Amino acid sequence: MRLLRPLTLFLLLASTVLAASPLAGRWRLDVARSTALDGWTAWDLVIGVDGSRVTLQHDMQWRATKRTATNTVDTAAPSVVPDFFRVEQRHMALYPAKGGTTAVRAAWLDAGRTLRVEADTPIEISQGQALMRIYEEFRLIEGDGALVLIELHSTRPSPLVYRFTRVTETSK
């Protein structure tokens, strides 16, 4: 009985953190403070949280070309994502392997203020196919009005760092 109380309290606290995630919402890239976004001129990241499932919608634009892609991850269990979207794939010319699926693991850190995503995605290279490891952290900074996305790729020696500001009704 004594063990059930702390466990119940923990589960209630965890569900409250996930239900009211401060990461949820629309975020706009701060181009001047971010890693170069060659191949794109604008990026809005829309984060949605529904229980343990988190959607990461990428609204991208390059001149008149617009593209929306969504990766859905689950913080409760590993998942498989078809057509895993990577922002830098146009610039680096490391395209997803045809028919490949990406193994993804996700978890909340820092009391729900950071989302960690780890992905193993097959890519096409000139020698055939290879597996790219990706580590991402979506971190709230400067209160809840700014977000930083830090990406580490097994194919790059340096991290990619993207800074976003929250889009509000007045800032649209």
- At 120 the pLDDT is 97
- At 97 the pLDDT is 84
Instruction: Give the side-chain half-sphere CA count within 13 A for 69.
Output: 13
- In the block, tokens 């699926």 appear at 101
- At 121 the pLDDT is 94
What percentage of the chain reaches a pLDDT higher than 70?
85
Give the SS3 label for residue 172: coil
- The DSSP line for 46-84 is EEEEETTEEEEEEEEEETTEEEEEEEEEESSS-EEEET-
- At 3 the pLDDT is 52
Token pair belonging to 3: 């063990």
Largest Cα span, the chain? 62
Q: Which residues pair with 119 in a beta bridge?
A: 104, 134
pLDDT tens per residue, range 78-114: 999 998 998 876 556 677 888 889 999 999 999 999 9
Say which residue, 58 or 18, is predicted with more confidence: 58
pLDDT at residue 143 greater than cutoff 70: yes
User: In angstroms, how far is CA 46 from the centroid of its own chain?
Assistant: 9
Q: In CATH, which of 3.40.47.10, 3.40.50.450, 2.40.128.20, 3.40.50.920 is domain 4-166?
A: 2.40.128.20
Q: What is the DSSP letter of 32?
A: G
Token pair belonging to 12: 């209630």
Mean pLDDT, to the nearest integer, of 134-156?
93
pLDDT tens per residue, range 115-128: 999 999 999 888 88
